[in-house]
Structure 1
Amino acid sequence: MFKPELLAPAGSWDALVAAVQNGADAVYVGGRMFNARQYASNFDREELIRAVDYAHVRGVRVYVTVNTLIADNEISELVAYLKFLYETGVDAVIVQDLGVLRLARSVFPELNVHASTQMTLHNTPGVELVKASGVKRVVLAREMSLDEIKQAKQRTGVEVEVFVHGALCISYSGQCLMSSLIGGRSGNRGRCAQPCRLHYTLVDERGKILLEPEEVGKYLLSPRDLRLLHHIPELAEAGIDALKIEGRMKRPEYVATVTRIYRQALDRYAMAPYNFEITPEEDRQLLQIFNRDFTTGYFMGPPGADLMSYKRPNNRGIRVGRVVNYNRKKATMSIQLDERLNLGDGIEVWVSEGGRQGTVVDQILLAGNPVESGLPGQTVTVPLKGKVKPGDRVFKTHDALLMRQAQQSFTSPKELRKVNIAMKVRVKAGEPLRIIVEDTEGNKAVARTEFIAEEAINRPLTKETIRRQVQRLGNTPFNLATLEIKIDGNIMVPLSEINEARRKALHLLEQQRIMLKRPVAIPETLVAARLEEADSYRKDKEKREQRKIMRLSAAVGNKEAALAAFEAGVDVVYVGADGLNGTPVLKVDDLQELAAKAESQGAQLVFALPRITKDKDLAVIAPFLQQAGKLNLGILATNLGTLKTVRDVGVSNIYADYSLNAFNSQALLWLQDNGVSQVTLSPELTLEQIERLAAEFNVEVVGHGALPLMISEHCVVGSVYGGFKEAQKCNQPCRGGEQFALKDRLGMLFPLVTDCFCRSHIFNPKELCLIEDLKPLYEAGVCTVRLELRKDSPDYVKKVAGFYRQEIDKLMKNKNTYAPDPDAKETLVAMTAQGVTKGHLYRGVL
């Protein structure tokens, strides 16, 4: 029976021990650098070595997250870190950055690489592309259904890992700039501040409230927690290689509990797949340890509002009962219990007025008498300072008994995780006693006593005596599966000597199990030679000539906007068919008209593919690709799957969008190796970083417009305003021409747009405006400045493009004496509702 790997998180040493001791087959951890959970405790180098050794002794694999974007000035440090990880014996590294992937495969081809969910792998061609680049395993996007996962697995044959439990991101991973652009804390650099878990209200474009928070909830971007425990049979039958628990920011007690329950369920499935079931107690414990309510995510299809935790963004615990009385003088409340309540439990009362009241239960009275626990059906009294009323619900957010059980698993010296060993004991007069231990992988260790066995005078050694001494393995990671004892004659050996030999043998076996996973160190000279070869393009290629002319491009949303851009003098127009207003406004035949317009203007038309294109979406855009091929148009690839698709059909002029997160020269080289001729750089780069990349590559920079903060498979409008749920269709309010936004607690309006695939796009309230910075961008070597205007009207496109055209023309005419026109900036600011920003051009990201 195929049984998937159980992969557990470890954000600290205690969490690592909790994962291992509770049955994880593998753990994923982060070091102090280059990992997407910089706010977890993480591991320094000495701790990583210790963690890898601890896991490997117990037969557990270790994957290290190197899953952030890296800058060019970090490459040498990254290479040294990858060398350290390889030589430490980690089983794989998990990467997001295409540059990290290229370096890992070029410099350390012996090191296994897994593609992080931050790579946004959500279609089969994307998986095929990274597999061809040497990736052993892919962590698929959490937005994929079971059928989509099956298809990716069957068509590619690559190892597939999916999340099965824990927190969900509302945005596609790797495509969220919300934390970055709002507060400078980049999720792509491991410092997400989780602004999606804050208050938002659905409003129209003028800020008029469409749904009061009391009607639906305040947390419109806060998903429930994923739980696929009940779907283990489907996951296993689909051939999914690894089931991943989210939670490197969670407490070790959480890791212990969730890992233990999934371990039990997987083992039961393997033993009796046709009688598989989850016990009510397992469900209760998962709810108790942490939940925002549970969802199956997209596993069974789009869940609509059933994905979301609109009422609260944090742990809700389990309802333990209701208030039946509150004594204000004594500051006590009486609760009719539905669940057991113990001393030390944490409870929270959801009061009808004033939010929530919480306390730790330090006294329980039953009929006036103190007790340690209250049982379901009983009415108990507990102390509480606060205003509560009869009928208010009481939730247990901290279960003291469950926490103690979890803590015991990682604080006790007694090991729960055991490796089976065979042991042989040999002893005869005139020789030391020998203990031979061997594990199931063939590792063998031998230890001898210092004492030379001699003939016994009174009490010779017996097999039973030896057995009692050598089977004392309680605090070791070993389980004595078989024992063979051979005594030649009436022999005497001190018991202390036997005990010491046992300890030596087991220690030697531990060391062998560690060293089995430790590869031979790679000489620094070889690393340097491989790195030089990876960077050899710098020797063979002259420094790219500074373009004499800076081009102006515009990304627009429909045919009319594209025509307006051409009329304003834009050199390159990107136009797609995803229609950011709920309808595919661009028709296949429109491409021919636009191509003719581009030719007459001496400009270029590029067909822009949707940022998210599942396998079924590729069929929708296929006619556009065919027409684009006939017209010899350029194609803007927006994810790894569309890049492979257009490359395979022979498109020669491929552009890579900023959604591919090109952040360093190695990423640009990877894209260049895969057929890309121009790259739009990540909007998280600074001018200094841009200049370094522009010196050697043809790069485009986004210079103006409302940047998309996130793209989500979840339709916010349809779910809260259109009645869309798992069992209820959406009434499609986005098709009525109404414009929507999300209003935050500071009063800022985030434009909210739905595309023809029913995905949500949330835009920055402030528009990027670099019209004053065209000269620095030109001097940095930027080839093209893009206007990001996909959601804007043709009239707006024409006006904005006109100002940039005017300024670029003046710059090209008088490069030395050019100064930006302050009126242009003022006019553009006046055209925006909520102001402008320079983004990260000068401030960078954390």
Structure 2
Amino acid sequence: MIQGPELLAPAGSWEALVAAVQNGADAVYLGGKMFNARQSANNFDHDELARAVEYAHIRGVRIYVTVNILLADHELEEALGFLHFLQNAGVDAAILQDLGLARLAREVIPELSIHASTQMTVHNIPGVRLMQQSGFDRIVLAREMSLEEIAAIKQETGADLEVFVHGALCVCYSGQCLMSSLIGGRSGNRGKCAQPCRLQYRLVDEKGRTLADPGRVGEYLLSPRDINTGAYIPQLIDAGINSFKIEGRMKRPEYVATVVRIYRNLIDRALENKNHYRVEKKEARDLAQIFNRDFSPGYLFGNPGRDLMSFKRPNNRGVRLGRVKGYNPGNKTIEIMLEEPLRVGDGIEVWVSEGGRSGVEVNSILVNDKPVEFAPAGTLVGLSIPGKIRPGDRVFKTHDAALMERARETFTSPRETRKIPLQLWVRARVGEPMYLRVVDHQGFTAEGYSDEICQEARKRPLTAEFLKEQLDRLGNTPFALADLEADLEDRVILPVREINELRRRVLADLEQKRAGTFRRPGLAEHLFKQRLRGAFSRIHKHEPPRTTEPLLAVNVTDITSLQAAVSYGADIVYFGGESYRSKGIVTEKDLQYGLEFCQKNGVSLVLNSPRILHDNELSSFTGLLQRVVDLPLNGILVGNLGLLKIIKEYTDKPVIGDFTLNVFNTATLHYLKEQGVARAVLSPELTIKQMQEMAATTPLPLEALVQGALPLMNSKYCPVGSVLGDFSTGKKCTGPCSSKRCGLKDRMGLVFPIEVDRYCRMHLFNAKDLCVIEDVPVLLASGITVLRIEAKKENHEYVARTVNHYRKAITRYKHGMRDERKDREAKEDLEQLSAAGITKGHYFRGVI
């Protein structure tokens, strides 16, 4: 039984798994060769997974397998087969993102424990409750949660909660990022994120002019620091967090070994005496040395603004070694006064004034013109470093050979670091086989007898000391001898080989008993197939939605754009709820006026809602709902799981599930229908072919995005406030977003527009507008009910022109007319609305 929180470690390879276990992890998460969010890691095939489970379980460590990506319809059966394998292999839980897969897993393999991935963007109390109701045994919370919010969720729900405590941080709410997908075809939701957030960007105004000097501020405006919560372990324990998760399945095993070792010590120290808790200087140094982009506690204590970010460097900083003091022409070395110890074999990097950075492995160290292997902090040393280096340049140690060697020892040595203490009892009588019983610290017991009987000794009888020496030869096992009781008859003897064989057999039996305690009941193949067939037949046996006239929807955030949408032929307007500071906050008066205008013109108005609603914000939106409940709204657009859970408590209006719920397969549509959704907006990562296939078997009317700048990121971090508004820990933002429209310009010259919402969250949009005006007939013929224009950040002129073109295209389709010339002219006109041009997104280049 674990005392205190679980320490959960990453493993992208077998060496990392061993490193995690040997350094004190209580559980390890890893991925198979498919269906996981770190496809670039080595990962584990089926045989390796089974071996990993046995290796970990013998040592009392749990194994969780990541199946945390979105899945297309044709992948669901294979994914369920993989989950079936995991259940039979004895895996302790699977970590899932896809709502449809989770629904099927509960039906087909209810024996398997499932955890809700952080990719599900669970960030409020009702979202946690919905996941509990949906069969999840643990919820991995969004990284944007504060300790106060986490403690409240624990108190209100009693849920098993997992929180990231160390490692890399995504700048966007996980599960809500389309940046890698839409600009590079590599989807984070499909496990192939290319990390565009770690690239260089400049903050520019709407005319493309640079607003902040990159040399002063830095160029990596979307690159966060790494999370490090080592100093706050007692507070995390008090918040009721069940599992402390270390990020890093892409990291080297030396990283895993070092970080796990330190957090193991920190957790144990906090549990022993949290009132006198401390992080030792060497522990802090080792964490920084093994890998850091500078550190931050993330959002645990509120929004730190610019203090969250590593603007000047997107990769490992190492630890500061000192500054260049000068050049020694006699021995041709650079002189540095060391702030940290240095060894031959360490790696260093100089942040030079001109030409970037210069890195080198230290192959010689001179102290007073004499070579040394090691120099302590405070020593003036001479180093041979190539490049244009000047006095004052900073020097960092990026590789510590001794630290790496210590870490490597834990996963390369046949002698195990983590040992299970054993109590041994031996009885030996002349004429009887030797009896051996072993008991571990958890009460597991194994026993056995030697094959040969004991003889009377002529010269050197067995002694307790000799037996202890033989039975303590456990170096290559996970066990260590804690105590031995020996009941030996006088002058009894047994060959050493027999004693060793008895020890081997009894310990092998103990290993199997320990492994067996974790093992869940297997699921027979025929029963799995039977359940699988039943589940898929129920999905395909449903009442299809009634065929309706194709409709055109427009998403806007200001009254003039609403009027333009209605005037030029929109059937549905999404309005209110979420608004941007550049356009002003939508008021209840605006909403009422918009409703009256839409009603007068026979157009439906659906109340939009923010895709992110933390608990304190959720109450604000539900308060709005209560105040407008009697108005003739035609529905609510819902984009987060928490609001989906409670929406029916406040209104009986139809619920439209937005694309931010990541609708990627038909099973997810069934899940949403069960939650009361009346229409679903498909993921913009689907191809037109996949949309056609889903439309053929959908239980719900479907909506697809066809025009507009798609949101790439939704982030609690705002570069406008952090760079221009001086927003940081203890400092309020000066609000530059209210007077400026900004964007991020990349190295190719593309500008990605930024909008800031009422909660100061950043919405980053694609530089190119989605435009599929030529493909309207194909979409409508496939069964898509509603085509949607995304124009929340646009002006009324944009809305008027886009709505006009799509209205005409829909009308031509309804009358059976196809006019390629008009489609082409419409596309050319729409292309003029986007400075960077247009894109068909993933309609014809999928992410699969």
**TM-score normalised by L of structure 2:** 0.97
Aligned to 1:801: 803
CA deviation profile, 1:377-415 (whole Å, cap 9, x unmatched): 221111122110111111100011111111111111111
Q: Which range moves more in the overlay, 501-510 or 621-630? A: 621-630
Residue 786 of structure 1: aligned partner: 788
Q: What amino acid does structure 2 have at the position aligned with 1:715? A: C
Q: Does structure 2 conserve the Cα–Cα contact (< 8 Å) formed by 1:350 and 1:356?
A: yes
- Say which SS state the counterpart of residue 33 (structure 1) adopts: coil
- Give the structure 1 partner of residue 762 of structure 2: 760
* Cα distance between partner residues in 2 of 1:436 and 1:710: 60
User: Are residues 818 and 400 of structure 1, via their aligned partners in 2, closer, same or farther at CA, if it must alter by over 3 Å?
Assistant: closer
Q: What letter is aligned with 1:103?
A: L
* 2:560 corresponds to 1:560: yes
| Residues 564, 798 of structure 1: 8 Å contact kept | yes
8 Å Cα contact 1:638/1:660 also seen in 2: yes
Residue type matched to 1:771 in 2?
Answer: I
Q: Which residue of 2 aligns with 1:213?
A: 214
Question: CA-to-partner distance for each residue in 1:549-601, whole Å, 9 max, x for gaps?
Answer: 21111111123322221112111111133322257521123333322333333
How far apart, in 1, do the equivalents of 2:377 and 2:516 lie?
A: 53
Q: Which amino acid aligns with 1:57?
A: I
Q: Contact between 1:94 and 1:114, CA under 8 Å: does it hold in 2?
A: yes
Q: Taking structure 1 as reference, are residues 358 and 747 closer, same or farther at Cα in structure 2, changes over 3 Å only? A: same
Aligned AA for 1:797?
V
AA partner of residue 180 (structure 2)? S
Instruction: State the Cα distance separating 1:814 from its structure 2 match.
Output: 1.2
Aligned to 1:724: 727
Would the alpha carbon gap of residues 582 and 428 (structure 1) be closer, same or farther in structure 2, given more than 3 Å must change?
Answer: farther
Query: What do residues 709-765 of structure 1 show as CA deviations (whole Å, max 9, x unaligned)?
Result: 0000001100001111112111100112x2101000110000011111000010000
Question: Contact conserved, 1:750 with 1:762, CA < 8 A, in 2?
Answer: yes
SS of the aligned residue for 2:588 comes to coil
Q: Say if 1:578 and 1:757, in contact at 8 Å, map to a contact too.
A: no
Is the partner of 1:486 in helix, strand or coil?
strand
Residue of structure 2 equivalent to 1:747: 749
Q: For residues 273 and 583 of structure 2, what CA distance do their matches in structure 1 show?
A: 49
**Cα deviations across residues 41-79 of structure 1 (Å, max 9, x unaligned)?**
111111111111111111111111010001111111111
Name the CA distance, whole Å, in 2 between partners of 1:610 and 1:209. Answer: 30
Indicate the SS of the match to 2:607: strand
Q: Kindly state the Cα deviation for residue 438 of structure 1 after the two structures are TM-superposed.
A: 2.8
Q: Given the alignment, which residue of 733, 736, 743 partners 2:736?
A: 733
Aligned to 2:97: 96
Q: How does 1:364-763 map to 2 (within 5 A)?
A: 364-538=365-539, 540-544=541-545, 547=547, 549-581=549-581, 585-633=585-633, 634-697=635-698, 698-736=701-739, 738-763=740-765
Code of the aligned partner of 1:570:
A
Residues 487, 179 of structure 1: alpha-carbon distance in 2 compared, 3 angstrom cutoff: same
Bigger Cα displacement from structure 2, 534-543 vs 96-105? 534-543
Q: Is the 8 A contact 2:707 2:771 kept in 1?
A: yes
The corresponding residue for 1:184 is 185
Return the offset for 1:279.
0.9
Cα-to-partner distance string for 1:268-324 (whole Å, 9 max, x where unaligned): 111111110111111111111111111111111110111110011001111111212
CA distance in 2, matches of 1:432, 1:565: 92
Preserved contact between residue 701 and residue 784 of structure 1 (Cα < 8 Å): yes
Question: Partners of 1:193 and 1:10 in 2: how far apart?
Answer: 20
Q: Is the 8 A contact 1:706 1:765 kept in 2?
A: yes
SS at match of 1:630: coil
* Aligned twin of 2:241: 240
Q: TM-score, normalised by structure 1?
A: 0.97
CA apart distance, 1:328: 7.1
Separation in structure 2 between the aligned mates of residue 199 and residue 61 of structure 1, nearest angstrom: 40
Inter-CA distance 771–346: structure 2 relative to 1 (3 Å threshold): same
Match of 1:332 in 2: 333
- Of 579-588 and 290-299, deviating more is 579-588
Q: Which moved more, 1:325-334 or 1:160-169?
A: 325-334
Q: Is the 8 A contact 2:540 2:697 kept in 1?
A: no
Q: Could you tell me how far apart the structure 1 residues matched to 2:716 and 2:375 are?
A: 44
Give 1:529 shift: 2.7
Q: Give the Cα–Cα distance (whole angstroms) in 2 for the partners of residues 813 and 235 of structure 1.
A: 63
Q: What is the deviation of 1:105?
A: 1.2
Offset of residue 441 of structure 1: 4.1
SS in structure 1 of the partner of residue 753 of structure 2: strand
Match of 1:776 in 2: 778
Secondary structure of residue in 2 paired with 1:821: helix
Secondary structure of residue in 1 paired with 2:832: helix
Contact 2:622 2:650 in 1 (8 A): no
C-alpha contact 1:24 1:259 (8 A) present in aligned 2: yes
TM-aligned CA deviation for residue 807 of structure 1: 0.8
Unpaired runs of 5+ residues, structure 1, are none
Please state whether the residue corresponding to 2:697 is helix, strand or coil: coil
SS of 1:24's equivalent in the other structure is coil
1 CA distance for matches of 2:54 and 2:822? 60
| Residue in 1 that maps onto 2:28 | 27
For 1:818 and 1:825, locate their aligned partners in 2 and report how far apart those are by CA, in whole Å: 10
- Comparing 469-478 with 677-686, greater Cα deviation is found at 469-478
Indicate how the Cα distance of structure 1 residues 646 and 328 shifts in structure 2: closer, same or farther if over 3 A, else same: farther
- 1:107 maps to 108
Which stretch has the larger CA shift, 746-755 or 788-797?
Answer: 788-797
Aligned residue runs from structure 1 range 110-121, under 5 A: 110-121=111-122
- Opposite residue 127 of structure 2, the aligned amino acid is G
Tell whether the 8 Å contact from 2:812 to 2:818 is kept in structure 1 after alignment.
Answer: no
Q: CA RMSD in A?
A: 1.7
| Amino acid of the structure 1 residue aligned with 2:580 | L
Amino acid at match of 1:234: Q
Q: 1:209-268: per-residue Cα shift (whole Å, max 9, x none)?
A: 111201200100001111000000100011111111111111111111111111111111
Cα distance in 2 between the residues matched to 1:271 and 1:498: 40
In structure 1, distance between residues paired with 2:664 and 2:45: 25
**Which residue matches 2:842?**
840
Partner letter of residue 117 of structure 2?
A: S
Q: Any conservation in 1 of the 2:23–2:264 contact (CA below 8 Å)? A: yes
Deviation at 1:821, TM superposition (A): 2.3
d(CA) in 2 for partners of 1:393, 1:834: 40
| Same amino acid, percent of matched pairs | 51
Deviations 1:646-701, CA, capped at 9 Å, x for gaps? 13334341110000001011111111111111110110001111111111221111
Q: Is the 8 A contact 2:575 2:591 kept in 1?
A: no
In structure 2, runs of 5+ residues without a counterpart are none
Runs of 4+, deviation exceeding 6 Å: 816-819
Structure 1 residues 48 and 243, CA, compared in 2 at 3 Å: closer, same or farther? same
Q: How far apart, in 2, do the equivalents of 1:302 and 1:826 lie?
A: 43
Matched to 2:608, the amino acid is A
Distance 1:125 1:46 in 2: 39
Residue 333 of structure 1 and its aligned partner are, at CA, apart by: 1.3
| Alpha-carbon spacing, 1:640–1:538, altered in 2? closer, same or farther (3 Å) | closer
DSSP-derived class of the 1:79 partner? helix
Cα displacement string for residues 606-657 of structure 1 (whole angstroms, at most 9, x for unaligned residues): 1111011001111222232124432253011111011112133343411100
Q: How many Å separate the matches in 2 of 1:423 and 1:563?
A: 84
C-alpha distance in 2, partners of 1:792/1:141?
30
Distance 1:628 1:665, change over 3 A: farther
2:578–2:608 Cα contact (<8 Å) kept: no
